[in-house]
Structure 1
């Protein structure tokens, strides 16, 4: 049986090395049963409005969806007995976003961005998470709710 520490290490390694996440600079910094966090640094390639030099709205939504998805996956695999990395991979292939709501509160300015997720409900088929995006000063840029298929 894989321990939860082994499952977490596998999930962090896979997500932190996905080409899309690497291109944006997303890194998992917290991965627990009921919360998750990712961080990324400002990069001009993430700019949505060159006149204001602010984060692209798609990057904001991506960060929220990614951190919610990480939490949805880990909240389920932490409570399921699994034998191998292959079994983890098979499980994660079936996970997907059902619904994502993003509310943009202020322009995305900052040097570092922190997306966090808290678990609202984790069932055997569906998981619901509440996500927030802040900059390094603590300014809240956006929040969202994600519903994920997990079974």
Structure 2
């Protein structure tokens, strides 16, 4: 690795750590869900969600609430497009990159519920389908601890 690309990688890692801290530890709703970061880079994100009684949508059958499913998929999608935006704009000044990240948001979110959310633990993964200067699209999936596919989503995010 060249010295410049090594510096860019270190800077990118630092920004990604800050994004992870914000999404997982500083957003009260995400704290309420109890999200745990398993893996995070510009190619893939994986978030763990341990099942809790307060997350049930059907307490009789112990099924994860559909809104929780949508929320964790949206978080995963937002984090992956943020990581890609960092990689793409790592040469920007701190102020410019901070502003760009602060203005990111979900434009559209589509969730397809494939099966009831049975499980003790759930894993959301995301990868980018396309990223541009203004908009990025991500694909997200939710599986339980037995790798049963619960839902998938497509998110469109403002990134510029």
Q: TM-score, normalised by structure 1?
A: 0.93
Contact in 2 for aligned 1:7/1:88 (Cα 8 Å): no
Say whether 1:44 aligns with 2:53.
Answer: yes
Which residue number corresponds to residue 143 of structure 1?
Answer: 152
Q: What 5-or-longer segments of structure 1 have no aligned partner?
A: none
**Structure 2 residue aligned with 1:9:** 17
**Which consecutive aligned stretches of 4+ in structure 1 deviate over 6 angstroms post-superposition?**
none
**Structure 1 position 16, deviation (Å):** 1.4
Q: CA RMSD in A?
A: 1.5
Decide whether aligned partners of structure 1 residues 29 and 3 sit closer, same or farther in structure 2, where only a CA change above 3 A counts: same
* TM-score (normalised: structure 2): 0.88
Following the alignment from structure 1 to structure 2, what is the Cα–Cα distance between the partners of residues 69 and 42?
22
Q: Any gaps of 5 or more consecutive residues in structure 2?
A: 1-7
| SS of equivalent to 1:30 | strand
**Is 1:106 aligned to residue 87 of structure 2?**
no
Residues 1:79 and 2:88 are matched in the alignment = yes
CA distance in 2, matches of 1:64, 1:127: 15
Q: Which of 40, 43, 63 is the equivalent residue of 1:34?
A: 43
CA–CA distance in 1 between the matches of 2:28 and 2:98? 17
Q: Find the aligned partners of 2:96 and 2:14 in 1 and give their Cα distance.
A: 13
Equivalent pairs, count: 150
Q: Counterpart of 2:3? A: none
Richer in helix (by share)? 2
